[in-house]
């Protein structure tokens, strides 16, 4: 029997806009099991990214609660929340937010260094992750020397360096061409299969949504549908994510 990882109960979020209160989430109930892969879809303005930010404790709900492993994180102090995010969660966004002055290896190491972990230990872990995502030959390259797909794989390795139980991804392949997107999608499923990492992915990609074992559709700040799907079967010979032919290097100058 699958173990529950996250329980979202009666979640609401309201914002003040030009003096008026605007409701973005209107009572979301959602459960996520450990090792599950699900996507959240819906039209722009449905509340998808707001939900992801609340699940990531990057913002607090107006009402309701979010429970991780029986602990209500909405009651944590800001300092404890920052510690929780660093230890338990990984984030991948449409824009990779890599630090341009640091190498790929240094970017991946950053969460561990911020946490005060031993440099040698973090270096070894970051290097192993970059090798797993097909970038063993790009360790010393800075973001400006990497293609879009390579930059996103660095961002994914950075999200994994603290061994999170849940990775939250917001349009992670929104800026990539279709072939590179397919390789990143395959990588998500491979990491879920081999490491048991739970993935929640907000996406407008119909192709990715159709692959996912579970699809949650949002509309007007509510869950409209929550469907179990056939899902994705990792091919025996998956596209090698380190193949430079997937995404040409970004031109310089």
List the domains of the chain with CATH numbers.
4-227 (3.40.50.300)
| Whether 213 contacts 193, CB under 8 Å | no
pLDDT per residue over 231-244, tens digit each? 666 554 444 444 44
Which of these, 238, 194, 192, lies nearest to 213 by C-alpha position? 192
Measured between alpha carbons, how far is 243 from 26 in angstroms, rounded to an integer? Answer: 44
The closest of 38, 37, 33, 30 to 4, measured between CA atoms, is: 33
pLDDT tens-digit map of 161-215: 888 889 999 888 777 777 778 878 888 888 888 888 999 999 888 888 888 999 9
Of 56, 68, 54, nearest to 15 (Cα)?
54
- Whole-model pTM? 0.82
Query: For 9-57, how does the pLDDT look when each residue is reduced to its tens digit (9 = 90+)?
Result: 999 999 888 888 888 999 999 999 999 999 999 988 888 999 999 999 9
Per-residue pLDDT reduced to its tens digit, 71-86: 999 989 988 888 888 8
pLDDT at 246 over 50: no
Mean pLDDT, residues 121-129 taken together: 92
Q: What is the DSSP letter of 26?
A: E
Phi-psi region of 129 (alpha: psi -120 to 50; beta: other; left: phi over 0): alpha
Q: Rounded to the nearest 5°, which phi and psi values hold at 104? A: -55, -45
Distance CA 162, CA 109 (A): 9
216-228 per-position pLDDT tens digit = 999 999 999 998 8
């Amino acid at each position: 029997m699958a173990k529950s990882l996250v329980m979202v109960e009666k979640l609401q979020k309201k914002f003040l806009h030009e003096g008026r209160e605007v409701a973005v989430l209107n009572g979301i109930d959602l459960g996520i099991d450990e090792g599950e892969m699900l996507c959240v879809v819906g039209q722009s303005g449905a509340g998808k990214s707001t939900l992801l930010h609340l699940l990531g404790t990057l913002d607090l709900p107006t009402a309701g609660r979010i429970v991780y492993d029986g602990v209500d994180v909405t009651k944590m102090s800001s300092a404890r929340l920052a510690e929780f995010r660093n230890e338990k969660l990984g984030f991948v966004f449409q824009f990779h937010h890599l630090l341009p002055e640091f190498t790929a290896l240094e970017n991946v190491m950053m969460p561990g260094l911020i946490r005060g972990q031993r440099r040698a230990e973090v270096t070894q872990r970051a290097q192993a992750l970059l090798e797993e995502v097909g970038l063993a030959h790009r360790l010393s390259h800075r973001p400006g020397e990497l293609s879009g797909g390579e930059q996103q794989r660095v961002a994914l390795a950075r999200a994994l360096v603290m061994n999170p139980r849940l990775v939250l991804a917001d349009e992670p392949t929104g800026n990539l061409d279709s072939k590179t997107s397919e390789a990143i999608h395959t990588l998500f499923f491979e990491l879920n299969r081999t490491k048991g990492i739970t993935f929640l992915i907000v996406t407008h990609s119909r192709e990715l949504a159709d692959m996912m074992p579970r699809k949650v559709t949002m509309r007007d700040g509510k869950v409209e549908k929550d469907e179990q799907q056939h899902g994705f079967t990792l091919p025996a010979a998956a596209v090698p994510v380190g193949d430079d032919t997937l995404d040409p290097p970004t031109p310089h100058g």
